[in-house]
Structure 1
Amino acid sequence: MRPQELLLLLLMLKWSLAHTEDPAFPHLGDSSQPLPRPCPWRCSCPRDDTVDCAGLDLRIFPDNITRAARHLSLQNNRLQELPYNELSRLSGLRTLDLHSNLITSEGLPDEAFESLSQLENFYVAHNKLSVAPQFLPRSLRVADLAANEVVEIFPLTFGEKPALRSVYLHNNRLRNTGLPPNTFNGSEAITTLSLSSNQLSYLPPSLPASLERLHLQNNLISKVPRGALSLQTHLRELYLQHNQLTDSGLDATTFSKLSSLEYLDLSHNQLATVPEGLPGTLTILHLGRNCIRHVEAVRLHKARGLRYLLLQHNKLGASSLPKGTLRPLRALHTLHLYGNKLERVPPALPRHLQALVMPHNRVAALGARDLVSARALAELNLAYNSLASAHVHPSTFRRLRALRSLDLAGNQLTRLPEGLPASLRSLRLQRNQLRTLEPEQLAGLNKLRELNLAHNRLRVGNIGPGTWHELQALKVLDLSHNELSFVPPDLPEALEELHLQANRISHVGPEAFLSTPHLRALFLRANRLHMTSIAAEALQGLTHLRVVDTAENPEQVLVQLPRRGKEPSALEGGERGVGGQVALA
């Protein structure tokens, strides 16, 4: 090659290197652009400081992780151990996520954490750890060791961590012997501690005074030692449900120092009385599923800010809530009493009470003044009691002008109650013994949207003319499981959902739904319909109809669907189908 040709070739090569970008090495030849950092095979590195190797079914710790990594995600793999030499060189890590692997305590070397002096977030939940790491960095803020097999915590696992705020140890095998008294010494910023679903038999001592949320549910706790909660003045939520607490396991000072407590859950224990010393800051008190037979007013005296009191499934009887018991609870919003043995509505209900829920009791009568003090009630549930129409006073509901939902299902009513307030949106009367409906009984209920009369003894001939006239807002009407022989006439115009299943209907005439043009769902299942029982014109005006259910009749029923402009129906030909349940597209 002549010298001129060689010089020309060298110039062309230099120009090519200066102007060509290699896809793997952009700006090759441009020394002003930094080279990209290597990323482990199959992992992703969305930022220079982030390495994401989650969900790759890895069995071996990935190599080639950059020392610049601050956030390393290895969750949802099959790792059994972490090599000390690989982990210790990542001294700048802030987040290490090992959630959902197969890591054992032997596979998590304590020495590795000596180099991770900047680690803030450590997630190793859902692994196979039997003991906690003996040493975790002082810089730690969040530690999640939940759902392992941990039986022992060491003093420096969580101790001497001034920045530590959240510790999750639920779903392990911890006993009190596995938690040394100095477990949290020097860690005075912890706000959340979860020890639920372990094997603790009493409340651990020396808990951080900084706690705001403490989860101890699903243990074997039978006692809270005196003074165990005396320093936790910031505690707002305390969960002790599903334990073995009895009255002797608590005393008058157990909760009295918790001056910030708002939520206390003691449900599913063995308490016979409401605990003493409840703080005035308490908003929600859950005492359901205990053995409480009597509620003393003095126990509720200081809890004047209580808004939700849950006493369901206890052993409350006729004299368990004497007059005046609930009077101190001036802010009470909701009272749950279902599943007890109460024979009457508690007297002198708080005036601002908005929800009284007491189905499955033994209430047999409602007097004129039983609810007079609770005029703010918006929800009243007395389902599955022993109410008979003769023992429901005509004025019982008259003054409840804010009542929106009334549930009287599963009683022994033979007629609708009188004096129902015009504010009602939902009225549930299923599973009674109603035989007749008269216009006067539903008069004024022009805001009612849902009426359930299923499982009664109604016949069309016993539904008075004009009964539905004032139900101008009714959207859902359930008349299933009655004794109707045909579709009741003059149903409310606003009706969208009509349940007529399990009656005695054998024929649906062409004018059956003229008054309900907005009907969307029609249920005629389990009647006495035959193939041609539904008149061809019966459904044609129902342009909003989407569901027609005619299953479980003596024969498959021919259904002529309404025309919807130029749109074809879901059935071939757009007009006819044999039900079954027909759902229009």
Structure 2
Amino acid sequence: MRPERILLLLLLLLPGPPPALGMEDASFPHLGESSQPPPRACPPRCSCPRADTVDCAGLDLRVFPDNITRAVQHLSLQNNQLQELPYNELSRLSGLRTLNLHNNRISSEGLPDEAFESLTQLQHIYVAHNKLSEAPQFLPRSLRVADLAANEVTEIFPLTFGEKPALRSVYLHNNQLSNAGLPPDAFHGSQAVVTLSLSSNQLSYVPPSLPSSLERLHLQNNLISKVPRGALSRQTPLRELYLQYNQLTDRGLDATTFSKLHRLEYLDLSHNQLAAVPAGLPRPLAVLHLGRNRIRRVEAARLRGLRGLRYLLLQHNQLGAAGLPAGALRPLRGLHTLHLYGNGLDRVPQALPRRLWALVLPHNRVTTLGAHDLAATPRLAELNLAYNRLASARVHRRAFHRLRALRSLDLAGNQLTLLPSGLPASLHTLRLQRNQLRALEPEPLAGLDQLQELCLAHNRLRVGDIGPGTWHELQALQVLDLSHNELSFVPPDLPEALEELHLQGNRISHVGPEAFLSTPRLRALFLRANRLHVTSIAPEAFLGLPHLRVVDTTGNPEPVLVQLPPTAPRRPRAEGP
């Protein structure tokens, strides 16, 4: 037998694993060594969940922590009381990628210009909610995200955000920047920026030389009165533009202002001083917000080409009787929602887009609803005509005839004395509060077997004025609001599916034992501010209501004794073998 095989056989016969020839056992602890890895260096009170992460957030620190490992890549110091960053401490952290200084007290004097020179790998810096009066003169070329929001910054410099090829997001909102504080080359060499927030500053016009790569631009809540010609001509990828809460007038815009924004989908010009819909709007627009301006008339020519527009918001303008000529909105073939809240319209606009899904018209002066006013919008699912001047005699019995998809109808705050006729069977919600209803008859509610919520609050209804069988066909009704009427007792024969019943603010003085026999699913009952006394509610009134959990009787002349039915005991679960 060969000597090599003999040696191998002997090794196999020895107890335990064979020792490595020519090597020491690395797993065996030697003198002066521990079997545990050495403790990771971490500043006092901070946490270091990984070798590259130091978290010192929310410790009320007033001094930059020492003993931070040089290997740190993510340093969190937000929500402290730091006033300055020592250069010698920061400069040795050359591998830092994320620096979070959010919500401290750091001033520009406490942030030396050379503080970031050695941080050549820094990608994310968060210095929002501090005391900076000017931006750092230099930030690393490696930067991707810079957040300097909610400071007191009045000036930025060419190399603050310039020459940063990887920079994608810059947040400068809630500062004190004027146009003089933004140099013309502020973003030179930084053509990857997709998000720029300059909202809530003191800009008087849209800054020129913004990054051509922008997709989202926030300029709301400034002092902007004009967009200089060409200021938005290079930002062709722009998808979202926020210019609300400024001082824009028609003179501050022209037909070329938005003409190059071939991908713009969202444009917010609300809360300005525009008297007309701007010209030259981009065709891809999906949302156009023009609320709270001074628009008196909408011209079809200004909307031509916007076939993809889905949401047009014109609330709180000055649109009167001639503000929306017939067919003015016809070019908007894809319009989904039209908001006209708070204008002076005296009728429903004519020739609305056929695909319209929601028409919101409250707080106007609409007095009449004719047989054909809504005939052009068969897909309408939400119609809000609340707080107009509609009287029952001026609502045609076929006004809703074509609205076979209507799910929500709001006629609150009008002058109706009767329920409208011809209500669509598709309705899920019907709001008629704050009218002058004096009677309810079953005919107008016939066929509404999908109705789930009916609000009749603040009318003049009495129990005797509710005709027999009124609730009979409301098989799906879950919420019924009869509050603030003139009811003297609980109306009989309420719908079986009812879960929530509002009767507060009536004249109810007694609740008998059979008051809720027809509503076994009732969960919540509101009887506050009636005329109930201690024993006004019969003890048996709630016996057949196993789901009842809320009975509100506050605000009555006396505290009312309420005895809820016992909850059904839970059956023990069958346990497996």
TM bucket (normalised to shorter chain) is over 0.9
Q: The residue matched to 1:559 in structure 2 has which SS?
A: coil
Say whether 1:84 aligns with 2:98.
no
The C-alpha deviation readout for 1:4-43, integer Å capped at 9, x for no partner, is xxxxxxxxxxx9x95599xxxxx9345xx86343111111
Aligned to 1:162, which of 148, 152, 165? 165
Name the aligned partner's letter for residue 154 of structure 2. Answer: V
Say whether 1:551 aligns with 2:551.
no
Alignment check: 8 A CA contact 1:145 1:169 kept: yes
Alignment check: 8 A CA contact 1:18 1:29 kept: no
Aligned to 1:28, which of 30, 33, 41? 33
TM-score normalised by length of structure 2: 0.93
Q: Structure 1, unaligned stretches of length 5 or more? A: 1-14, 22-26, 568-585
Deviation at 1:231, TM superposition (A): 0.8
Deviation at 1:550, TM superposition (A): 1.2
Q: What residue in structure 1 maps to residue 4 of structure 2? A: none
Q: What residue in structure 2 maps to residue 538 of structure 1? A: 541
Q: What residue in structure 1 maps to residue 211 of structure 2? A: 208
Deviation at 1:110, TM superposition (A): 1.4
Aligned to 2:333, which of 324, 330, 333? 330
Name the aligned partner's letter for residue 240 of structure 1. Answer: L
Deviation at 1:558, TM superposition (A): 1.8
Alignment check: 8 A CA contact 1:313 1:337 kept: yes
Q: The residue matched to 1:248 in structure 2 has which SS?
A: helix
Q: What residue in structure 2 maps to residue 229 of structure 1? A: 232
Q: The residue matched to 1:557 in structure 2 has which SS?
A: coil
Structure-1 separation of matches of 2:227 and 2:252? 6
Structure-1 separation of matches of 2:39 and 2:384? 66
Name the aligned partner's letter for residue 422 of structure 1. Answer: A
Q: What residue in structure 1 maps to residue 97 of structure 2? A: 94
Q: What residue in structure 1 maps to residue 288 of structure 2? A: 285
Structure-2 separation of matches of 1:88 and 1:565? 69
Deviation at 1:483, TM superposition (A): 1.0
The C-alpha deviation readout for 1:193-242, integer Å capped at 9, x for no partner, is 00000000000000111000000000000000000000111000000000
Alignment check: 8 A CA contact 1:105 1:128 kept: yes
Say whether 1:348 aligns with 2:351.
yes
Name the aligned partner's letter for residue 375 of structure 2. Answer: V
Deviation at 1:369, TM superposition (A): 0.5
Aligned to 1:38, which of 30, 38, 41? 41
Alignment check: 8 A CA contact 1:339 1:359 kept: yes
Aligned to 2:178, which of 175, 185, 189? 175
The C-alpha deviation readout for 1:329-353, integer Å capped at 9, x for no partner, is 0100000000000000010111110
Structure-2 separation of matches of 1:242 and 1:67? 47
Name the aligned partner's letter for residue 78 of structure 2. Answer: Q
Q: What residue in structure 2 maps to residue 119 of structure 1? A: 122
Structure-1 separation of matches of 2:126 and 2:90? 15
Structure-2 separation of matches of 1:350 and 1:566? 56
Structure-1 separation of matches of 2:70 and 2:561? 73
Structure-2 separation of matches of 1:534 and 1:550? 10
Q: What residue in structure 2 maps to residue 132 of structure 1? A: 135
Structure-2 separation of matches of 1:207 and 1:19? 63
Aligned to 2:563, which of 540, 560, 563? 560
Structure-2 separation of matches of 1:99 and 1:288? 35
Structure-2 separation of matches of 1:41 and 1:526? 60
Q: Structure 2, unaligned stretches of length 5 or more? A: 1-24, 571-577
Name the aligned partner's letter for residue 287 of structure 1. Answer: L
Deviation at 1:60, TM superposition (A): 0.7
The C-alpha deviation readout for 1:473-528, integer Å capped at 9, x for no partner, is 00000001111111111000000000111111111111110000010111111111
Deviation at 1:429, TM superposition (A): 0.1
TM-score normalised by length of structure 1: 0.91
Say whether 1:242 aligns with 2:245.
yes
Aligned to 2:461, which of 451, 458, 461? 458
Alignment check: 8 A CA contact 1:154 1:183 kept: yes
Which residues in structure 2 correspond to 1:342-491 (within 5 Å)?
342-491=345-494
Name the aligned partner's letter for residue 494 of structure 2. Answer: L
The C-alpha deviation readout for 1:378-437, integer Å capped at 9, x for no partner, is 000000000000000000112101000000000000100010011000000000011111
Deviation at 1:561, TM superposition (A): 2.0
Structure-2 separation of matches of 1:563 and 1:131? 67
Structure-2 separation of matches of 1:563 and 1:69? 61
The C-alpha deviation readout for 1:104-152, integer Å capped at 9, x for no partner, is 1111111121101111111111000001000111111000000000000
Structure-1 separation of matches of 2:223 and 2:475? 56
Q: What residue in structure 2 maps to residue 257 of structure 1? A: 260
Structure-2 separation of matches of 1:247 and 1:385? 30
Q: Among the aligned pairs, what percent are the same residue? A: 80
Q: What residue in structure 1 maps to residue 505 of structure 2? A: 502
RMSD: 1.5
Q: What residue in structure 2 maps to residue 63 of structure 1? A: 66
- Which aligned segments of 4 or more residues in structure 1 are displaced greater than 6 angstroms? none
Alignment check: 8 A CA contact 1:196 1:219 kept: yes
- Structure 1 pair 390–62 and aligned structure 2 pair: CA distance change class (3 A): same
The C-alpha deviation readout for 1:291-323, integer Å capped at 9, x for no partner, is 000000000002211000000000000001001
